[in-house]
A and B are shown apart, each in its own frame.
Chain A
Amino acid sequence: EADIYQTPRYLVIGTGKKITLECSQTMGHDKMYWYQQDPGMELHLIHYSYGVNSTEKGDLSSESTVSRIRTEHFPLTLESARPSHTSQYLCASSAPRPGGGDYGYTFGSGTRLTVV
């Protein structure tokens, strides 16, 4: 049973459309992340959040934006989709573990976006 949910699982959309990829977690984790991964390629961090009202850009520059109004919700928005945005988008969350480190990231199943 997944504790982090991403919707939609697949999305095909036309160029210029505005889209929002949803990510929700039920674990109460403060830290959440968005990664982008092209087929057969490495994962790249594009956004992360320490907690409510905190958002930061990741290592890979992205035209997307994120918001964190509630702990459990971390949506990613593309104002005007382009074919170059075609990729898989993966959401994750994490929490600290007593004694040090964390419990590890929990990833969602991802959204596979195709912009035509």
Chain B
Amino acid sequence: DAKTTQPPSMDCAEGRAANLPCNHSTISGNEYVYWYRQIHSQGPQYIIHGLKNNETNEMASLIITEDRKSSTLILPHATLRDTAVYYCIVRAWVNNAGNMLTFGGGTRLMVKP
């Protein structure tokens, strides 16, 4: 699986957009970009994932560069409850395989009033 690089921490003002970057310069053509977050010591929560195209759901938007070497997770209107550690993970999906996720250090996002 491709290695990812994320800033260890970021701050964001409440109500503003939070843009979390992730570099994955060694990504392969069949690897997806996944984003998860972990609030305090709860189980991680799936946010969004994509392969090539930008994706949007009720939680966030995922912007993947054309060369796929980096991506940005966008929380359009951050709230205090979005304070969490955000993980960017890159891996392929293979049928009949384990498809395990490897979590790195992530970005600790602090949303401030």
A residues neighboring B (CB under 8 Å): 31, 33, 35, 37, 39, 42-45, 48, 50, 56, 58-59, 88, 90, 92, 94, 96, 100-110, 112
Give 27 pairs: A residue, B residue, CB < 8 Å, sorted on A: A31-B98, A31-B99, A33-B100, A42-B105, A43-B103, A44-B103, A45-B100, A48-B98, A48-B100, A50-B97, A56-B98, A88-B41, A90-B43, A94-B99, A100-B32, A100-B93, A101-B49, A101-B93, A102-B93, A102-B99, A103-B46, A104-B36, A105-B46, A105-B101, A107-B45, A109-B42, A110-B41
B39-68 contacts to A, CB under 8 A, are 41-47, 49, 51
Contact of B100 with A58 in the complex, beta carbons under 8 Å: yes
Chain B's interface: helix, strand, loop or mixed, by majority?
Answer: loop
Count residues on chain B whose CB falls below 8 Å from chain A CBs.
25
Given known A-B contacts A43-B44, A92-B43, A101-B51, A50 and B98 have beta carbons under 8 A apart = yes
Contact of A42 with B104 in the complex, beta carbons under 8 Å: yes
With both beta carbons as reference points, the residue of chain B lying nearest to A110 in the complex is identified as B43
Give the distance in Å from the alpha carbon of A88 to the alpha carbon of B96 in the complex: 28
* Binary contact track B57-100/A, C-beta < 8 Å → 1, others 0: 00000000000000000000000000000000000010111111
Please indicate which of the listed interface residues B95, B102, B105 has the most CB atoms of chain A within 10 Å of its own CB.
Answer: B102
Q: What are the residues of chain B within 8 A of A108 when measuring CB–CB?
A: 43
Q: What are the residues of chain B within 8 A of A37 when measuring CB–CB?
A: 41
